[in-house]
């Protein structure tokens, strides 16, 4: 299960017309991939503002979104101008995982997306922080923030999975629905020097442990291969992403240079 | 180690006296976010500031306040640079800062002496503190309980891992029943 998906389109060099890469030390394509993950998920979580089930979650999701936005700003600035990259790129130039662009769905879907992604991001930043590469500084800072995101998602997975019949069924459905997007997280990103296979094993172990604790079974659907999803790193995105971008970029494109 | 001139030390002191925009009881020095002030020449200074959280929106306000204070003291050109490394931790808050937080009604972060991997405790979402404190999110279990800043009781429970700002969690005291913010360990 740790074999990279050979059917996915081959990773190409970043599109230089949209991602200026002038630096020799920072792998711009990698900064873009990790930065886009943080930016897109931040925007999705921000969509909960005013709609979260309880006030504490309103605050929690907004805070998590803010942490991710901060990470995105640092990462995108490594790849070029943060505002141009966020607001002026077309859909195909984004390099985020398809997982993070998935719509919020019900609260359980958001929590499942958080569980899958924050576990991945925590494992990744932890490894990057331990190295001395270009992302070590950011990773050392962000890994502690993400530890709280991961804890938040795990606690809610346990609470919903162990709650009422309805909450449990919704949690199960959400974990199943997003499972096919999780294989993409472990396709190696050029310029990110970590043991991807080892990280995937750690991720499966951790997510599996959380699910089993509330006797939810680990989804059995495919994570790689023909019936899985995930070519976001190559610029291929799912249908809802275009609409999300339209909303995210609308103000800046209509009023260039607008500020608060 | 770079030597610091007396003037640079004075400017560091000045910049450090700027209050935090979100927690005005604390100065930037007490918060521990000011890393260095360097003079390029008589009228040009470079300031190094580190954010508490990568997304902390207060950084821009801090930078403006530092620029204003240094301008008032004759430095024409002030550049504030944000540095991430080494990462800020709540251990950088001074003792004086912790005392002021407590007086302000915010439980200060507990100090840690080891910086090993972060353990993630699994447990029910809302629980009172009993036995090892598993209610503060990813904090090391050997930490002492969070004490109520109002009555000092160690009998407090977590209401929400996130609060009014990214750096705080919301808790409630089970002795005096008052809710309070807790500056999370980072």
Question: Closest partner residue to A151 among B87, B117, B137, by Cβ?
Answer: B137
Is the CB of A70 inside 8 Å of chain B's CB atoms? yes
Answer yes or no: is A250 within a domain. Answer: yes
B16's CB contacts (< 8 A; 6+ apart) are B27, B28, B29, B34
Answer yes or no: is A16 within a domain. Answer: no
Could you read off the pLDDT of B94-129 as tens digits, one per residue?
999 999 999 999 999 988 655 455 454 554 444 443
Q: What is the CATH number of the domain that holds A243?
A: 1.20.1260.10
Q: Which two tokens stand for residue A74?
A: 């640092």
Answer yes or no: is A17 within a domain. Answer: no
- Could you read off the pLDDT tens digit of each residue along chain A, which spans 260 residues? 444 443 444 434 444 334 444 444 789 999 999 999 999 999 999 999 999 999 889 999 999 999 999 999 999 999 999 999 999 999 999 999 999 999 999 999 999 999 999 999 999 999 999 999 999 999 999 999 999 999 999 999 999 999 999 999 999 999 999 999 999 999 999 999 999 999 999 999 999 999 999 989 999 888 877 777 889 999 999 999 999 999 999 999 999 888 87
Nearest CA in chain B to A150: B120
Is the CB of A31 inside 8 Å of chain B's CB atoms? no
Number of cross-chain residue pairs from A and B with Cβ atoms under 8 Å apart: 102
Answer yes or no: is A1 within a domain. Answer: no
Q: Which two tokens stand for residue A41?
A: 């998920």
CATH class of B6-82: alpha beta
Q: Which of B52, B58, B161, B186 to mutate to test the interface with A (most CBs of A within 10 A)?
A: B161
Question: Closest partner residue to B84 among A59, A137, A210, by Cβ?
Answer: A137
pLDDT of residue A14: 40
First to last CA, chain B: 27
The per-residue DSSP string of B43-97 comes to: TEEEEEE--SSTT-THHHHHHHHHHHHHHHTT-SEEEEEE--SSPP-GGGS-HHH
The per-residue DSSP string of A6-37 comes to: TTSPPP----TTTS----SSS-HHHHHHHHHH
Rg (CA), chain B: 19
Q: Which residues in chain A are closer than 8 Å to B52, comparing Cβ atoms?
A: none
Answer yes or no: is A8 within a domain. Answer: no
The residue ranges of every structural domain in chain B are: 6-82, 106-186
For the question of an ipTM over 0.85, the answer is no
DSSP, res A219: P
Q: For B27-36, what is the mean pLDDT?
A: 95
What is the SS3 assignment for B159?
Answer: strand
Q: A67 and B55: CB-CB below 8 Å?
A: yes
Give chain A's domain count.
1
Q: For B51-64, what is the mean pLDDT?
A: 91
Question: Residue A128, Cα to own-chain centre: how many angstroms?
Answer: 16
Is the CB of B3 inside 8 Å of chain A's CB atoms? no
Query: Between vectors from CA B52 to CA A150 and to CA B87, what angle results, nearest 5°?
Result: 80
Could you read off the pLDDT of B169-182 as tens digits, one per residue?
999 999 999 999 99
Domain containing A188: what range? 28-254
CB of B88 closer than 8 Å to CB of B33 = yes
**Residue A251: what are its φ and ψ, rounded to 5°?**
-65, -45
Q: Which of A41, A54, A56, A212 to mutate to test the interface with B (most CBs of B within 10 A)?
A: A56
């Amino acid at each position: 299960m740790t074999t990279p998906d050979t059917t996915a389109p081959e990773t190409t060099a970043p599109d230089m017309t949209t991602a200026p890469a002038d630096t020799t030390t920072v792998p711009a394509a990698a900064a873009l991939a990790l930065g886009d993950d943080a930016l897109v998920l931040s925007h999705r979580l921000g969509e909960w503002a005013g709609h979260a089930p309880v006030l504490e979650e309103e605050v929690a999701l907004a805070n998590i979104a803010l942490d991710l936005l901060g990470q995105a700003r640092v990462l995108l600035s490594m790849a070029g101008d943060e505002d141009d990259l966020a607001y002026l790129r077309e859909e195909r130039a984004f390099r985020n995982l398809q997982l993070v662009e998935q719509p919020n769905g019900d609260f359980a879907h958001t929590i499942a997306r958080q569980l899958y992604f924050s576990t991945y991001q925590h494992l990744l930043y932890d490894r990057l922080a331990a190295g001395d590469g270009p992302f070590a500084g950011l990773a050392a800072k962000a890994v502690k923030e993400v530890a709280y995101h991961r804890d938040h998602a795990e606690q809610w997975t346990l609470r919903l999975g162990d709650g009422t019949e309805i909450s449990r069924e919704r949690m199960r459905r959400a974990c199943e629905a997003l499972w096919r997007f999780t294989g993409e997280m472990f396709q190696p990103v050029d310029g990110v020097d970590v043991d991807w296979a080892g990280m995937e094993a750690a991720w499966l172990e951790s997510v599996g442990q959380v699910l089993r604790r509330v006797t939810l079974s680990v989804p059995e659907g495919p994570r790689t291969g023909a019936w899985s999803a995930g070519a976001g790193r190559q610029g291929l995105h799912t249908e809802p992403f275009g609409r999300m971008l339209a909303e995210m970029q609308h103000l800046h494109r209509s009023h260039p240079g607008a500020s608060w | 180690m770079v030597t610091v001139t007396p003037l640079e030390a004075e400017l560091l002191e000045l910049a450090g006296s700027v209050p935090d925009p979100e927690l005005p009881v604390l100065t930037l020095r007490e918060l521990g976010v000011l890393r260095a002030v360097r003079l390029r020449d008589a009228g040009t200074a470079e300031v190094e500031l580190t954010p508490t959280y990568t997304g902390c929106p207060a950084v821009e306000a801090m930078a403006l306040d530092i620029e204003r204070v240094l301008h008032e003291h004759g430095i024409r050109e002030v550049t504030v640079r944000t540095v991430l490394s080494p990462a800020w931790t709540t251990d950088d808050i001074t003792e004086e800062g912790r005392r002021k937080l407590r007086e302000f009604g915010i439980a200060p972060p507990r100090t840690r002496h080891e910086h090993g991997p972060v353990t993630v405790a699994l447990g029910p979402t809302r629980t009172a503190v009993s036995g090892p404190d598993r209610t503060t999110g990813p904090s090391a279990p050997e930490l002492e309980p969070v004490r109520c800043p109002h009555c000092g009781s160690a009998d407090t429970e977590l209401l929400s891992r996130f609060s009014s700002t990214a750096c705080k969690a919301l808790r409630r005291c089970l002795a005096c029943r008052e809710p309070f913010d807790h500056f999370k360990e980072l």
